[in-house]
Chains A and B, each alone.
Chain A
Amino acid sequence: MASAPPSHRESLTSLLILAVLFGIGCGLVLVQRSPNPAVRALKQAAQFPADAAGPAGRTGTRIPIPEGFTAMSPPEVYDPERLADKINGKAELYLSAGVQHLTARRLAMDGDGAWLEVFVYLMESPMDAYAVYSAQYRPGAAPAGVSRYSYTTENALFFIHGPFYVEIVSAAVGPETQRRLATLASEFVRAHPAVETVVAERSLFPQEGIVPDSIELQPADVFGFQELDDVFLARYRFDGVEMTAFLSRRASTDEARELAAAYAAFLERFGGRSEELAFPAAEAYLVEIFGTWEVVFTHGRMLAGVHEAEDRALAELLGRRIWTSLSGEAP
């Protein structure tokens, strides 16, 4: 017996159901194409439990997750080519200082819902780590006590440890936040054994007239002169006149002398005028350029001098004080 054809009502009902299902399907597609960013972030956070610090991996960096913290995101690793994808225009600062990798991770602080992000820059050497640390030092910050070169601000903690430069940046402020940042920093130091970095050049700058917290290590292209690299700078102020002192430890005495001569020649090439300089150093130059004075001299392997001093007498005075300091003599 042949089955009866569907009634008009049945057909209509079927079509209606199909239309509803089609509508639901379309709705799902549309919603899935534009997920709520907040939901996505929360889902991402749920994926990384507190014990998911993971192995150090190829970067040799492991961001610890101490008790009281929860991972919000997986570790992100950026090599030099991709560094700008994380820190945009600041990448150049790290690239010129020899960055190997950046490892970053966000952690939630249990209890108050606040969060922080840890940025670990693995540099080629401890001095490279010091270079990026000193370039970004926040004057007046309180020492953090995590390592010899560490400081804390209202919401963040910055330090170097071996070849690592570490920033822990919190979205909260206050004593409890600072305590937690210190805990995390200490865990990191424990997880990465390293010899303490000591930057001897810092103590070679004369103390009189120095602007506090102004010592900085510039890794490359110093004063626009490509050959001049790895130079320590310190700002000085005498009677309202500012100038910069510089020191650079070279591989040999000859290299220091050649570099001093090359820098003086570079200044002359761009309009500088050399003047006689009565100075104890064998290799010493005094150049006036664009209304400012440059003193350049060598002391053994050290290349040193004064940059952009508006007063010749003060430039010579500071130059002599640096010479005295390098000689180990009493000022």
Chain B
Amino acid sequence: MTERGVISRRDFLRRSARIGVSAVAGAGVAGLCFDPAGPAPKTADSAAIRSFDFSIPAETPQIAVVRGPDRKETLRLALEALGGIEQFVAPGDRVLLKVNAAFSSPAMLGATSHPELVFEAARHCFAAGARSVTVADNPINDPSACFTLTGIADAAQKAGAVVMLPRPQRFDRISIPEGRLILNWPVFSAPLNGADKVIGLAPVKDHHRSGASMSLKNWYGLLGGRRNLFHQNIHGIIRELSILVRPTLVVLDGTVSMIANGPTGGSMSDLKQTDTLIVSTDPVAADVLGARLLGLSPAALPFIGEAAAAGAGIADVDRLNIKELKL
């Protein structure tokens, strides 16, 4: 370059050569990296065989049943009865609240986890020193609409928790040990991978296929893919879900129970004020107690016996020490 803004022929050729060499080199590197076959599909063998165990070892399950209409107070009392949330959440823990946000329906219809309970559960976790609280589910309907219209997103935000939506990259193909249904199946694993403790928050509901939807059925919201195929073997899939996830705690909300036309409901007349909150380290026992609110025995819900046989908990609740309280 001889003057500002003027370029010599020699400079021009030199620069053009440099750009050309760079472009060719770049294209060459891209060509070396290019895989014309694309990524190979994962096979059953390539799926991780695993389950997610967040349970706290204990000789017997810890269960509290509190009667009353105020979720904030019943949860507080139940946790106190079990020795406080500190028994389950340690300072620095990353907690996952697995809610039921399956439908884009308002909280008052009882088809989803109640936002007040989500807020209170997150608040208790933070009070125990949790580093983070994540609220997650893979809803049946559009995830954003579900979390928004149920009021769960708002409740989570107010409590300082983060909603994790089920994006494709947050699923892994997983097979459970000795599984027959969850084989190389997409599971919403990101929230589980990033958690130290898992708390299930489920409402008590009638369910057209399984008879009832409570703590154990709540893990269905971790499945991806064409999961409705599993409706043909609904009790079998709930059994396998009980193997997939062993929670730290479940909070089964029977303050208002959906006693008919579940799992969607749609009318306030499908609901019954049952004034009961169950907090348990054992999801099987929690579901046995929740079934009573629907007027159902464990025998009417085969998934309870199957989950108990799979080691997920104890169905014979009469031999358990249940702390029963009333507001």
Q: Which residues of A contact B105 (CB under 8 A)?
A: 117, 169, 171
Contact with A along B139-165 (1 / 0, CB 8 A): 011011101110001100000000101
**A51 interface residue (CB < 8 Å to B):** no
Inter-chain contacts of A140 with B (CB < 8 A): 269
Please, how many angstroms separate the alpha-carbon atoms of A304 and B26 in the complex?
81
For chain A, the bracket of interface size reads 35 or more
Does A154 lie at the interface of the complex (its beta carbon under 8 Å from any beta carbon of B)? yes
Contact in complex: B104, A84 (CB < 8 Å):
no
Q: What is the bound-complex CA distance between A113 and B168, given in angstroms? A: 33
Q: A1 contacts the other chain (Cβ, under 8 Å)?
A: yes
Q: Closest CB of chain B to A41's CB: distance in Å? A: 4
Contact in complex: A91, B228 (CB < 8 Å) = yes
Interface string of B257-275 (1 = CB under 8 A from A): 0001111101111100000
Distance between Cα atoms of A153 and B271 in the complex (Å): 12
Query: Of residues 264 to 292 in B, which have CB atoms within 8 Å of A's CB atoms?
Result: 264, 266-270
A169 touches B231 (CB 8 A): no
Residue in B103, B104, B144, B268 whose CB lies within 8 Å of A154: B268
Residue picked from B104, B263, B270, most chain A C-beta under 10 Å: B104
- A3 and B165 CA atoms in complex are apart in Å by 54
Bound CA–CA A89/B260 (angstroms)? 13
Contact of B261 among A3, A106, A136 (CB under 8 A): A136
- B109 adjacent to chain A (CB < 8 Å): yes
**CB pair B102 A88 closer than 8 Å:** yes
B208 at the interface (CB under 8 A from A): yes
- Tell me if A41 and B144 are in contact (CB < 8 A): yes
Contact A90 B263 (CB under 8 A): yes
Contact A156 B266, beta carbon cutoff 8 Å: yes
Q: Which residues of B contact A119 (CB under 8 A)?
A: 266
Q: Does B108 lie at the interface of the complex (its beta carbon under 8 Å from any beta carbon of A)?
A: yes
On chain B, the residues within 8 Å of A153 by CB distance are 267-269
Contact B1 A41 (CB under 8 A): no
A194 interfacial contact with B, CB 8 Å: no
Per the 8 Å Cβ criterion, residues 71-105 of B in contact with A are 102-105
- Give the B interface residue count (CB, 8 A): 40
Asked if A38 is an interface residue, CB under 8 A from chain B, the answer is yes
Once bound together, how far apart are the Cα atoms of A41 and B231, in whole Å?
30
* A156 in contact with B267 (CB, 8 Å): yes
Contact: A138 with B163, CB < 8 Å?
Answer: no
Whether the pair B269, A89 counts as a contact (CB closer than 8 A) is no
Question: Is the CB of B318 closer than 8 A to any CB of chain A?
Answer: no
Interface positions, chain B 94-147, Cβ under 8 Å from A, are 102-106, 108-109, 140-141, 143-145, 147
Given the known inter-chain contacts A84-B231, A89-B209, please indicate yes or no for A37 contacting B147, CB distance below 8 A.
yes
> Chain A residues near B102 (CB, 8 Å)?
88
Judge whether A88 and B228 touch: CB under 8 Å: yes
CA distance A154 to B269 in the complex (A): 8
Whether B184 is near chain A, meaning CB under 8 Å from some CB there, is no
Q: How far is the CB of B135 from chain A (nearest CB, A)?
A: 11
Residues in A57-108 with C-beta less than 8 Å from chain B: 73, 84-93, 106
Measured between beta carbons, the chain A residues less than 8 angstroms from B165 are: 34, 37
Closest to A157 in B: B267
Given A153-B268, A154-B267, A169-B105, are A38 and B153 neighbors across the interface (CB < 8 Å)?
A: yes
A216 at the interface (CB under 8 A from B): no
How many angstroms between the C-alpha atoms of A36 and B264 in the bound complex? 25
> Mind listing 24 A-B residue pairs with CB under 8 Å?
A37-B143, A37-B144, A37-B148, A44-B144, A84-B140, A87-B140, A88-B228, A89-B207, A89-B210, A89-B234, A89-B263, A90-B263, A91-B228, A92-B208, A115-B106, A136-B261, A138-B270, A141-B267, A154-B268, A158-B267, A169-B105, A169-B109, A171-B105, A173-B268
Known: A86-B140, A106-B145. 16 other contacts (CB 8 A): A37-B148, A37-B165, A40-B144, A84-B231, A85-B141, A85-B228, A86-B141, A88-B140, A89-B262, A91-B231, A92-B231, A115-B149, A138-B261, A155-B268, A169-B109, A171-B109
Contact surface of B with A, Cβ cutoff 8 Å: 1, 3-4, 102-106, 108-109, 140-141, 143-145, 147-149, 153-154, 163, 165, 207-210, 213, 228, 231, 234, 260-264, 266-270
